[in-house]
Amino acid sequence: MINDTIAAIITAYGKASVGIIRISGSDALEIGNKIYKGHKDLKRAENHTINYGKVYDNYTDKIIDEALFLVMLAPKSFTGEDVIEIQCHGGVVVVKKILELVLRNGARMADAGEFSKRAFLNGKLDLAQAEAIIEIIEAKTDKSLSLAVNQLEGNLSALIKKVRVDLLSLMAFIEADIDFPEEDIERLTIEQQLELLLGIEHEITNILKTAKGGKIIREGLNIVIIGKPNVGKSSLLNALVKENRAIVTDIPGTTRDIIEEYINLGGIPIKVIDTAGIRETEDIVEKLGVDKAKDLINRADLVLFVIDSERKISEEDKDIISLLQDKETIMLVNKVDLGVKDEFLKELKDLSQKPIIQISAKENIGLEDLEKNIIDLFFDGDIESNDQVLVSSTRHIDALERADDHLKGAINSIEAQLPGDFITIDVQGAFESLGKVTGETIEEDILDQIFSQFCIGK
Ligand code: GDP
Ligand code: ZN
């Protein structure tokens, strides 16, 4: 039932100078008014006004707090419904008490994401924009934030909507060819249809190309540092952390065998795992076991394999190198401040095709080179374009990939000179898949699942 009135505390739980309770729905004004004691009736307040008054407990006849009552009436509110927001003092008890009072007066406790869901259902936001709200809250770096804001502003949505309009008109033209083959009406030639589809397919492919980078900006990159004891793994981790202060700090760091740190590399949030918990005398594969070592490697987006330029390449090094055959890897020859022999580098090159960078974790040599290499590997060297449309969510990527398959199908049908019906099926399929991104064609249960990822009060 969409018309019942919901309420929740929308500020963080805990002591703060201000706490806010939001009420949304057709009874919001009525409920707000019952607990408002000001110089006039809240019902006579102008839309979009801030009204100072007392929060009045109409059950016990007591004043609970002084507060500001914000009146935002439909449709000009976040949810598109009548909304009252009560800004009171931010104590845990007072905020809870006011919420309870609101509930007792007829509102229902809002579910997680329910305000945003209503905003979506009332057409205030499309689905991609609503999802951007979670992303903004969870953004790990400036870059992740600007990606999310870009999505909230509707740049991805606008592109999808434009393409869907083109597909719809294409369907109309094809239908007309089928239904009125004789009549003298405006038509698109087969060549024009093909050109239109190729253009759209090109556009979708281009967005999909940003998926790898977009996902990394959003979710971060997992890097694992691997190498024998004493080669300088922890020194490298420390050097990277020192240079690239991370924003995220509230994540538990040390486990028994491995150490995790977060760094911010040119806006890319990166989790670096060091196997430094392993004692210097122990062998990583032996200590963790082959399975665990492989698991660690598998879960990484990138492995930094560190080797000591001072020592000979051992059998164990060779074992690790062969484990890394199919993995995105950078080989780091460390301690080059002590010198490195040409034969060493040559032997290493012969063992593996992976890029080799000479560094000194201790003397800060080669680290910029390493950082540049990491960015190049995942972004073709370019993560600057902030207003470019990037996709980052698995849900969007899936929908776009499905749309792309349909577009290719339609193109094939035209090229194979199949009848219009065959083309329409795929054009329709692409149209629907794209609608999933913005939420125009989406099933109720998927919608619920998306909004349930929000927290209460969003
Ligand atoms: P890990 O066991 O691989 O984590 O290696 P550590 O980072 O603990 O380093 C082992 C030893 O090598 C320490 O004494 C470091 O000071 C030293 N070390 C690490 N990196 C360098 C480097 O680039 N140059 C030199 N000369 N010594 C280094
Ligand atoms: Zn160590």
- Render 325-338 in DSSP notation, one character per residue: TTS-EEEEEE-GGG
CATH of the domain at 285: 3.40.50.300
Same domain, 237 and 374: yes
Average pLDDT of the chain, as a whole number: 88
Residue 278 beta carbon below 6 angstroms from any ligand 1 atom: no
pLDDT at residue 256, rounded to an integer? 47
| 300: phi then psi, degrees, rounded to nearest 5 | -80, 145
Residue 383 beta carbon below 6 angstroms from any ligand 1 atom: no
What is the ipTM for the molecules in this complex? 0.98
Mutate which of 226, 230, 287, 337 to test ligand 1's pocket (most atoms within 8 Å of Cβ)?
Answer: 230
Same domain, 65 and 80: yes
Q: Does some domain include residue 326?
A: yes
Binding-site positions for (6S)-5-formyl-5,6,7,8-tetrahydrofolate read 22, 85, 124, 458
pLDDT in tens, 262-320: 888 888 888 888 765 455 555 666 666 667 667 788 889 999 999 999 888 988 888 88
Residue 53 beta carbon below 6 angstroms from any ligand 1 atom: no
Same domain, 228 and 342: yes
pLDDT band, residue 251 (cuts 50/70/90): very low
Same domain, 303 and 434: no
Query: Three-state DSSP class for 181?
Result: coil
Residue 438 beta carbon below 6 angstroms from any ligand 1 atom: no
Q: Does some domain include residue 386?
A: no
Query: Three-state DSSP class for 184?
Result: coil
Residue 238 beta carbon below 6 angstroms from any ligand 1 atom: no
pLDDT in tens, 61-82: 999 999 999 999 999 999 999 9
**From atom 26 of ligand 1, which residue's Cα is the shortest distance away?**
335
Same domain, 251 and 193: no
Q: Does some domain include residue 59?
A: yes
Residue 366 beta carbon below 6 angstroms from any ligand 1 atom: no
Residues of the domain holding 342? 217-379
pLDDT band, residue 335 (cuts 50/70/90): very high
| pTM exceeding the 0.95 threshold for the entire prediction | no
pLDDT in tens, 366-375: 999 999 999 8
Atom of ligand 1 nearest to the CA of 231: 3
Q: Can you tell me the distance from the alpha carbon of 314 to that of 297, in angstroms, rounded to the nearest whole number? A: 20
* Burial label, 450 (beta-carbon count in 10 A; 0-12, 13-18, 19+): buried
Q: Can you tell me the distance from the alpha carbon of 38 to that of 32, in angstroms, rounded to the nearest whole number? A: 12
**From atom 22 of ligand 1, which residue's Cα is the shortest distance away?**
335
Q: How many CB atoms lie within 10 A of CB 283?
A: 15
Residue 263 CA, ligand 1 centroid: distance in Å: 20
Same domain, 88 and 136: no
Q: Sheet containing 6-9: give its strands across.
A: 36-37, 49-57, 62-72, 83-90, 16-24, 6-9, 108-109
Residue 229 CA, ligand 1 centroid: distance in Å: 9
Residue 337 beta carbon below 6 angstroms from any ligand 1 atom: yes
Structural domains counted in the chain: 3
Query: Three-state DSSP class for 130?
Result: helix
Same domain, 293 and 413: no
Q: Does some domain include residue 65?
A: yes
The C-alpha R_g of the chain, in whole angstroms, comes to 29
Q: How many CB atoms lie within 10 A of CB 91?
A: 15
CATH of the domain at 77: 3.30.1360.120
